[in-house]
Structure formats: structure tokens, C-alpha cells
Amino acid sequence: MTSIRKRSWVAPDGSEKTGWQVDYVDQAGNRRRKQFTRKKEADAWLTTAAYQVTQGTHTPDSQTITIAKAADLWIKRGQREKLEASTLAAYDQHVRLHIVPMCGDRKLSQITRPMAEGWRDQLMDKLSRPMAMRVLRSLAAIVNEAMGRGYVAQNVVAGVKVRRAKREKPKVIIPTKAELKAILEAAKASTEPMAHPLALIAIFAGLRASELRGLPWRCIDLKAGTVTVEQRADLKNIIGPPKSEAGYRTIPLPDSAITALKAWKLACPASDDGLVFPSIAHKVMSHQYMNGKVMAAVQIAANCHHMVTRDDGKPMLDKHEQPVMVPRYTLHDFRHAAASLWIEQRVNPKRVQKWMGHGSIQVTFDTYGHLFDQADQDSAVAAAIERELIG
């Protein structure tokens, strides 16, 4: 039985107050009450609540928590599960800078689909589309965590999406073959002995930067000519398992890489973790040093760089009065280069997925689908020319 009745009372300051009280029975058979200032609000709420009770998705306000509290529970679960430090830092940023200021004081039971759609619009207005998507996914994950704990019966945020505009689909940056050749030649001539084997593995095996930094010698099979990924180093230089189950993989290496690795193994400093590319201190090399020092120097030597300019368009100079140069590519761009080389050689998409360590073939096609299309077109062109000349 449900009812709405007007009630009056005297406030502590002696003033008379009136309100509208909703009496209803929830799906568990418990009697509940909720009070509103206006009857119109009470009517609207009861209509929604009555439907939720019939669907088994109603949660009384007294049995729920705020989004801020739910976010805290979500972050703590990630800490217990020992998620990557960079992942936890990103989640914490989403919560502190965007979610809590926007809706942290709102109780989970009070969230409606229109409300969640409005939050999506707010995020889109002040953030880039990719960041808005990430924050919205975090909000949905927060509500999902609370739902699993019984603080809310449904997750209305899960159905709210940020549509990716096709024209905004990010394109991967891939070094040209001429640039890759120049980089390998510069790496071979570098005074940094690890530069050449590092460039070879980055370009031919497509390992992530974290996987290169955490790569141990036991995972290099010099006889079979393969590199196996079974661990990585996070942003805090802590060795751990790969990014996902798909991260465990074995990738073939060309003879040039094996030859360079054999020579480097004789000169490589020993480290506690038996790393292929240890730091000067014989520990895990930082991402900044590997990407911004070793590979940056190689690219600058190979003329794969940009000159930094000031606001007035003039070159920015360093302390030696020389123009400041920055590398054109990151370690991740060499990962794309590896995929493009495999695809050009007609490697099966599933094998490309495996070697790249992608969790699904969809990720591979979303990232490199245009390259597969180009490879198919090139093959068709060759076949057409053959038909014309040979028959």
C-alpha cells in the first residue's frame, strides 16, 4: 500500500513547517517513508519508486551511500588487487578532479538516467572526448562496485555512452621505412652500447616500453631467435606480470637482432633482476631515461626530430646556445612500426594480435585495420597487373 499525506510540525525555532510524506512498501516488504517539500515532487518520486519496486531495482536512501563514499571503496579495492600504480593514479585523478566535485554528495539511490546523461554532458563540455569517456567509465565502475556490495540495485550510469565521432578516431603514428633504417644505423653507431639492441627489439618485436624495461635475459632465446614477454616494469620501476593475460607471448626476432643481443650480453652490466637493459645503477631503467635519453639521442642523430620554437617562432636555445631538438617518435610509435611491418608481410591478423599482446582481435583491427586494408589493396593491384601482362 502506498500513500501521500500532508503533515505539519513545529521546528526547534518555533516556526510551523509543512511537508508531504510518502509511505510505501519496498520489494522486501518493509515499510518506508520519504518526505518532500512539495506534493508535486512527492507524486513524481512515488511514480518512479513504485515502478522500481515492481522491477526489484529500488534502493531506499537509508540503505545507500554517496558517490564519494562509493568511489573511495572502488579505489581501495583497486589497491587491494594491486592494480598498476599508473592505473590507480588515473582513477584517483578521475575521482578527485571530476567525479566528486560534480556529483560526489549525491546518494546512489537518487541517480536517474537523465541525471547521468546530464553528467555526461558536463564532462563533454569541459573535457576532451577521450578524457570524458574515461571519467564516465570510472563513474560507471564506481556504481557497479557499490551495486555488488548491495548499496544500490541498478547501475543507470552503465548505459550512458560518449559516442566516438568517426572523424575524431585517433590515428597511429608510424615511422617510415627510411626513418627506421636511419634510426637503426644511428643506433648501431651510437656510443651507448645498448642503443642498437634496444632499437632492434623495439622495432622488430613491438614490445611495450614497460616490457622493454622489465625484460630479463632468461626471456631471450638466442638459439631459437625469440623474445618472450612474461613480466614488465611499472612507472615506479616495480617488476610485475604483464598488462593482461594476453601480454604473455613469444615473438620471433631477426638474425640482426640476435647478433646484436649476443654482443650486448657480453657487455651488459649485471643486475639483480638479470635485466637486458638495466640502468646505470644496475636496476630497472626509468621510462624517461630509456625514451627521453637513449632513444631520443638516436633519433636526433638520425635526423628524426623537431626543432623547438619560442612563441615568436624563433628557435629555442639550450645552455650551449644550440637549438633544442626533440625526437619525432616515442617508444610506443616503434611498437606501431612493428605491427605495420608484420602486416605488410601478410602476417595473419590473429598472429599480429598475439604478437602485439592485444586482448582481442577487435583492438587489433581498431588500431591497424587501415593497414590490413592497404595490404589487401596492394595485393589486388599486383594481381591485376599480373593478369594484364601474363593473362
Domain count, the chain: 3
In this structure, are 75 and 190 located in the same domain? no
Number of H helices, E strands in the chain: 15, 10
Q: Which three cell numbers stand for residue 123?
A: 564532462
In this structure, are 348 and 255 located in the same domain? yes
Per-residue burial over 172-187, b if 16 or more Cβ lie within 10 Å, else e, is: eebbeeebbebbbebb
Question: Tell me, what DSSP letter sits at residue 84?
Answer: -
Mean pLDDT, residues 293-307 taken together: 91
Q: Is there a contact between 3 and 23 (Cβ–Cβ < 8 Å)?
A: yes
In this structure, are 198 and 289 located in the same domain? yes
Residue 377 lies in a domain: no
Domain that holds residue 100: 67-168
User: How far apart are alpha carbons 275 and 218 in whole angstroms?
Assistant: 9
Given pLDDT bands bounded at 50, 70 and 90, which one contains residue 199?
Answer: very high
- Long-range contacts of the stretch 249-252 (C-beta < 8 A, 24+): 249/354, 249/355, 249/357, 250/226, 251/205, 251/206, 251/207, 251/226, 251/227, 251/355, 252/225, 252/226
Q: Residue with C-alpha cell 521546528?
A: 11
Residue 45 lies in a domain: yes
Q: Is there a contact between 227 and 205 (Cβ–Cβ < 8 Å)?
A: yes
pTM listed for this prediction: 0.67
Q: Is there a contact between 290 and 227 (Cβ–Cβ < 8 Å)?
A: no
Query: At 121, which CATH number?
Result: 1.10.150.130
Q: Residue with C-alpha cell 574515461?
A: 134
Q: What is the pLDDT of residue 211?
A: 96
Q: Which helix (H) or strand (E) holds 83?
A: none
Residue 260 lies in a domain: yes
Mean pLDDT, residues 96-104 taken together: 94
In this structure, are 163 and 255 located in the same domain? no
Residue 130 lies in a domain: yes
In this structure, are 204 and 285 located in the same domain? yes
Given pLDDT bands bounded at 50, 70 and 90, which one contains residue 272?
Answer: confident
What is the overall mean pLDDT for the chain?
86
In this structure, are 119 and 158 located in the same domain? yes
Which of 12-16, 189-193, 207-211, 367-371 is predicted least confidently? Answer: 12-16
